[in-house]
């Protein structure tokens, strides 16, 4: 059974940093692009970042470029999101999602999410 | 970026009746080389993560009831629930994957029971 379990969310002040983790199991982690998708309270879904199977390619939504860094450790079946210079508008539930397709098409499995709140 | 616009924002349908959700993309998501529409639909129930329902605009994910169907091509797409069940109350999102550098979602359509 495919499982994705996020952790690391919490309350952080504007300008602060946070590192999210996603532990994957039930599939060959190293064979898939992995993604972070976020959802602000009461709002819709926004794709944030993704990373190729071997970590050699990374893509980001414009609003987080230069502030967020996605990474992975295939030996630990884990995905990460380092978030720096956090802003109030980064407040959201952050989901880890598996990408389908050799270039990531849609997202077939999602974790339960971890809440990040940026507030003073 | 490709902008996805759903309509309506919400709808209330009686149990057993048809629900229809529309999704329009700001540019075509049809790849001429393989004649595939790069569009997916998701269902999100309260307090849960999204669940993949349909991909390639009309292919149902394994385990998804056949009352859910997707149609359309180019820029205009539809998700139809042929006979609404109580467990279908949720927010539904379309998503394009034509632009393989920016994956974008519609704003969501909330489906409720009338």
**Does residue B100 surpass a pLDDT of 90?**
no
Q: What is the pLDDT of residue A8?
A: 97
Q: What is the pLDDT of residue A111?
A: 98
A114: three-class secondary structure by DSSP: strand
DSSP bridge pairs for B94: B41
**Average per-residue pLDDT for chain B:** 97
Q: What is the pLDDT of residue A34?
A: 97
Give the C-alpha separation, A37 to A34, whole Å. 10
Q: Do A103 and B100 touch (CB under 8 A)?
A: yes
Q: What is the pLDDT of residue B101?
A: 87
pLDDT tens readout for residues B54-82: 999 999 999 999 999 999 999 999 999 99
Q: What is the pLDDT of residue A102?
A: 80
User: Could you tell me how far CA B40 lies from the centroid of its own chain?
Assistant: 6
Residues B94, B104: contact at Cβ < 8 Å?
A: no
CB contact residues (below 8 A), chain B span 34-53, against chain A: 38, 40, 42, 44, 48-52
User: Looking at A13-113, which runs of residues are DSSP E strands?
Assistant: 18-25, 34-39, 45-51, 58-60, 68-73, 78-83, 92-99, 107-110
Average of pLDDT values for B21-32?
97
A90: three-class secondary structure by DSSP: helix
- B contacts of A96 (beta carbons < 8 Å): none
Question: In whole angstroms, how large is the CA radius of gyration of chain B?
Answer: 13
Average of pLDDT values for B84-106?
95
User: Do the strands B109-113 and B10-13 form a parallel or antiparallel pair, or are they unpaired?
Assistant: parallel
Q: Do A106 and B49 touch (CB under 8 A)?
A: no
Angle at A3 between CA B66 and CA B38, to 5 degrees: 50
Nearest CA in chain B to A103: B100
Residues B74, B24: contact at Cβ < 8 Å?
A: no
Q: What is the pLDDT of residue A59?
A: 96
How far does A16 lie from chain B, in Å, by closest CA?
26
Return per-residue pLDDT of chain A as tens, 120 residues: 999 999 999 999 999 999 999 999 999 999 999 999 999 999 999 999 999 999 999 999 999 999 999 999 999 999 999 999 999 999 999 999 999 988 889 999 999 999 999 999
Q: What is the pLDDT of residue B96?
A: 97
Q: What is the pLDDT of residue A39?
A: 98
Residues B77, B23: contact at Cβ < 8 Å?
A: yes
Give the C-alpha separation, A88 to A9, whole Å. 14
Residue A66: other Cβ atoms inside 10 A: 9
Phi, psi of B3 (to 5 degrees): -95, 130
What count of CB pairs under 8 Å joins A to B?
Answer: 54
SS (H, E, C) chain B: CCCEEEECCEEEECCCCCEEEEEEECCCCEECCCCEECEEEEEECCCCCCEEEEECCCEECCCCCCCEEEEEECCEEEEEECCCCHHHCEEEEEEECCCCCCCEECCCEEEEEC
């Amino acid at each position: 059974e495919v499982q994705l379990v996020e952790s690391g969310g919490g309350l952080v002040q504007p300008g602060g940093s946070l590192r999210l983790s996603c532990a994957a199991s039930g599939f060959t982690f190293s064979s898939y692009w992995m993604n972070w998708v976020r959802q602000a309270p009461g709002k819709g879904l926004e794709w944030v970042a993704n990373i190729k199977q071997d970590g050699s390619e990374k893509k980001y939504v414009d609003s987080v470029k230069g502030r967020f860094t996605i990474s992975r450790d295939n030996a630990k079946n884990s995905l990460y999101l380092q978030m720096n210079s956090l802003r109030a508008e980064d407040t959201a539930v952050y989901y880890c999602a598996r990408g389908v397709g050799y270039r990531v098409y849609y997202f077939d499995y999602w974790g339960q999410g971890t809440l990040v709140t940026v507030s003073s | 970026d490709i902008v996805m616009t759903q309509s309506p924002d919400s709808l209330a349908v009686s149990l057993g009746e048809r629900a229809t959700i529309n999704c329009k993309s700001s540019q075509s998501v049809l790849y001429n080389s393989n004649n595939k529409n790069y569009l997916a639909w998701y269902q999100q129930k309260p307090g849960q993560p999204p669940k993949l329902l349909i991909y390639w605009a009309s292919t149902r994910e394994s385990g998804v009831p056949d009352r859910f169907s997707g149609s359309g091509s180019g820029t205009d797409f539809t998700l139809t629930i042929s006979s609404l069940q109580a467990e279908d109350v949720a927010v539904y999102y379309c998503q394009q994957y034509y632009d393989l550098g920016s994956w974008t979602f519609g704003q969501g359509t909330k489906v409720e029971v009338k």
